[in-house]
Amino acid sequence: MMFDTLNTALNSFWTARYAKFLALVLLYGATVHVGNIAGLTGTPWLSTPLLWRGMDVTLLVFDLVTAIALWRGFSWSVALLFGGIILLQFVPYTLWRSHFILKPEDTQTLNGLLATEAAILAIFALLLWLKK
C-alpha cells in the first residue's frame, strides 16, 4: 500500500520533475566519485584513507543505482534515496566525523554537504506528502 502511494506521488507533475532533478544531482555525485577514484580531484586516490576510498566506491554505486531508479520512477527508489543518504552520509559524517576531516576546511565542506542533503530530503518529503 505504501508503494502504491509512492507510485501515485512519483507520477504527479512536480514530484516527478524533482525526482528527475535528484537523479541528475546523483549522477553529478557519481562523476565526482569517479574523478576521485581516477585521481582527478587533487589527491591521488591511493593516498587517501581507506575509509574514504571505501566511501567513494560505495557512494558511486549508490548514486548510480538511485539515479536510475528515480529517473525511472520506481517507488522503492524513495526508500533507497532516504535510507542511503541517512546511512551513507548523515551517519558517517556525524558519528565518525573526525575520520573525514584532514584539513580545517573539511569541516565547512562536511557541514555544507549535510545541510544540502537535509534540504534535498526535506523538499522531496514535502512534495511526496503533498503529492504535487
Entry pTM: 0.88
Per run of 10 residues, the mean pLDDT along the chain (length 132 residues) is: 69 93 97 94 86 94 98 94 96 89 86 95 94 70
* Cβ(63)–Cβ(33) below 8 Å: yes
Instruction: Give the chain's length.
Output: 132
Cα 43 versus chain centre, distance: 22
Q: Which residues, including other chains, have CB under 8 Å from residue 77's CB and lie 6 or more apart?
A: 10, 19, 66, 69, 70
The cell for 83 is: 535510507
pLDDT at 100: 83
Question: For the chain, which residues make up each domain, given as ranges?
Answer: 2-130
Q: How far apart are CA 78 and CA 2, in angstroms?
A: 11
